[in-house]
Chains A and B, each alone.
Chain A
């Protein structure tokens, strides 16, 4: 840190304390605040996502569709190549795409569809279609959680015109807080010792803009299409695959 920012830091912290009419926090108060950070208490979680598993999955799908995304439910990973081939054909898209270097994606039996041309890695501006692995998803608003990692590059979320995401139904949670819990439990960041990777994107539908006459247009800078390949790996959710999500009407 430079001497200048040291001075800036002292000036700003001094001004804050002066205006709050106190000095640095006494240790007992600082300890209480540290305890609050460690406990990171949840606040009110809206009731809309407090549903049985099947209802949460249905709510997730309904919300994705409400936000102009699409979902294909697949029994397992072996159905992925055909589902992608069908989707690309339907949308008149070339059967070439970039795949994030995630083990789950690498394990897909791609050879069964030899016409699909895959490149593994980060996305480039020339990629028209990309396939990402979904870390988790949030039913409350139909939101994907995509933390950056060597096997989950951020560019794969952004650069292609059509973004495909593979998601396991067992990774759909009700509320954002539950997705944070997954991240906290499952990730260790080598650099910080914490759990946050460099980047976590919460993605809800394809890119859009209403800057031109307040009228929604899809595909502003990011993907114009967001298509989720949902693997039905959740016993409970599968029990009632067509269960309607309360409170959400079909789009």
Chain B
């Protein structure tokens, strides 16, 4: 079933593109190390979630059409985000309920779409990634990755295989309060949620908090830094790819 060297299209995600390109390069490195041929389709922008979750189906559908065009013909589409991955895998097809042809194309694309870390373990069968690391981290399960894509054990397994100690926080599966536009529509509630999260993180005593979604990470880092916390915040791909030297932790200067 598994080809020796599958052609993988990287869906960069708008936050990685805009905010933290290193995560994209970390994803490319991990995929190439796993034996994939990685390509980055130029004509990509956003998965459409901001529109989709605001009730604007027309815009979401237009963006989905662009995705169908740009990402046809690859063996897999890999996304360094559970949230955008969940959008492509579970929600994209629902935008074409009125058009069986497009719906079929969207379903075919959805079936080939994976979040980065679970792709490495579940599709490429990786037990470990190259390199070694040390230190103590705690892992926040981002909501879509956990509940839409079943990502829970995979990142922890790869981290532990690298030599990292994972210390669990209380309620790692509870939302950090980011929620896309939620954090700007309901800032007080969002702030309270992320404060609870940062307290749970601090209580572990871990040096670093990791997650697989940049949205959560920006939110968590923003709160930790506001509180003056020394806990470092990184995308899990940076650690797995051994690229922590390439960029300072999120919210910190180089």
The answer to A–B direct touch (Cβ < 8 A) is no
Q: B residues within 8 Å of A by Cβ?
A: none
